[in-house]
Amino acid sequence: MSPASQAKDAPLLEVKDLQIEFKTEGGVFRAVDGVSFSVRRGATLGVVGESGCGKSVSSLGIMGLIPTPPGRYAGGEVLFEGRDLLKMSAKDRRGLRGGRMGMIFQEPMTSLNPVYTIGDQIIESLRAHRRVNHKEARERAVELLDLVRLPSPSKRVDDFPHQLSGGQRQRVMIALALANDPELLIADEPTTALDVTIQAQILDLMRDLSDRTGAAIMLITHDLGVVAETCDEVVVMYAGRVVERASARDLFQAPMHPYTLGLMAAVPRLDEKGSRLETIPGSVPPPWAMPKGCRFASRCPLATQQCRAEQPPLRAIDGDRLVACWRAPIEEIAA
C-alpha cells in the first residue's frame, strides 16, 4: 500500500488509553479510565451509556476543554491526524478547536452568549480562523444559517439566542460548529430536550451535512434508536470505561456484553404494548468506590468470582468486535 493510501485509510481521530481525573473534597476520582477508540474519515461513531459514564467528559477531553483544576489529564493520547492534542500548546489547540474540530454542545441556551446576536457569534468564530472581513463573515453566517435550515436567515442573523426556539438554537449551534468546515464534528446529546419531530430534523441535517462535507462525526447519546439510525460504529461506555466496541450492525444484531444487552432490553418497543419496561437492576458504583473487578459485576446476572476479582480487558472477539467481559462470547449472552 502506498504512503498516500495509508494516510487516507488512517483514522482521523485516535483516542488511546485516555484517563481524566477530578479532585473533589472527597478525594480524587477518575471519570475516564483508559478509554480507547478511533473515528474514521467520513464515518459516524456513536458513544452510548448511562448518564455519568464518562461520555461527555471524554468529548471535552478530546477538545481540550477539561477545567484544570479541578480536572487533569492523568494519561493517554488524543491523536488528530497523528498529532497528540494533549502535547500541543494551548494556542495550537485553540487553532484546531472551532476550526478543523467542531463541537455541538448539549444545551445551546447555556452555550450561546446571551448578550450577542447569533450572527455576531458566528462571525467571531469565522474571523478567528479565517482571513475575512466583517462583511464577508456576515454573508457566510447567513449562508450557514440557511444551510442548517433556519427560516429567514438574513433576518434571524440579528436575533439574540432568547428570541429563538430550542430547535432553532440547536441549529445555530450546528452552524457555529460547521462555520470553518471542520473535519471532525463532536455532537454531545444534540437532540436532548427537543420534541421528536425536531430531533428527526436535527439528525437528518447532521447526516446531510456529513454527506456533503465528508466530516467525521462523534455522536454522544443515550438514545439507542438514534445510534441505530445514524452510526457506522458504536462504543458502549460504563463507569468510565469502554465495555464494548463494534460496528452498529454487529452490535444490534448480537450484543455481547451483559450491559449492552441490558441497554437493548430497556428500549421501549411498539410491538410489546402493555408489557413491562425492562430495567437494569442496581446502580452504577460511585467513582470514589470502584470495585476491584468488573465494574458491572454487581448488576450482572452472569457474574462469576473471577468477574468480581479481576477487571476484564477489552479484547478482540469475532474480528473487529471488542468486548470487556470474561464470559464473552457465551450462549447466554449471544442469545
Domain for residue 80, yes or no? Answer: no
pTM of the model: 0.85
Per-residue pLDDT tens for 152-169?
A: 999 999 999 999 888 888
Q: Does the pLDDT value for residue 296 go beyond 90?
A: yes
Domain for residue 127, yes or no? Answer: yes
Beta-sheet pairing, 101-104 with 44-48: unpaired
Q: What is the C-alpha to C-alpha distance for residues 121 and 123, in angstroms, rounded to an integer?
A: 5
Domain range enclosing 142: 101-179
> Which has the higher per-residue pLDDT, 118 or 266?
118
The SS3 of residue 187 is strand
Residue 108's pLDDT is: 66
Residue 232 — very low, low, confident or very high, per pLDDT cuts 50/70/90? very high
Within 13 Å and on the Cβ side, how many CA atoms surround 102?
Answer: 27
Q: What is the mean pLDDT of residues 137-160?
A: 90
Structural domain tally of the chain?
A: 1
Domain for residue 133, yes or no? Answer: yes
Domain for residue 118, yes or no? Answer: yes
Residue 272's pLDDT is: 56
Per-residue pLDDT tens for 41-52?
A: 889 999 998 888
Per-residue pLDDT tens for 172-222?
A: 888 888 888 888 999 888 776 667 777 787 788 778 777 877 889 999 988
Domain for residue 317, yes or no? Answer: no
Residue 5's pLDDT is: 41
What's the order of all strands across the beta sheet hosting 71-80? 27-39, 13-24, 71-80, 83-84
Domain for residue 303, yes or no? Answer: no
Query: Do residues 239 and 299 touch, judged by C-beta distance below 8 A?
Result: no
Cell of 159: 436575533
Which among 39, 50, 14, 30 is positioned nearest to 221, based on CA atoms?
50
Neighbours of 301 (CB within 10 A): 9
DSSP H helix total and E strand total for the chain: 14, 12
Domain for residue 332, yes or no? Answer: no
Domain for residue 310, yes or no? Answer: no
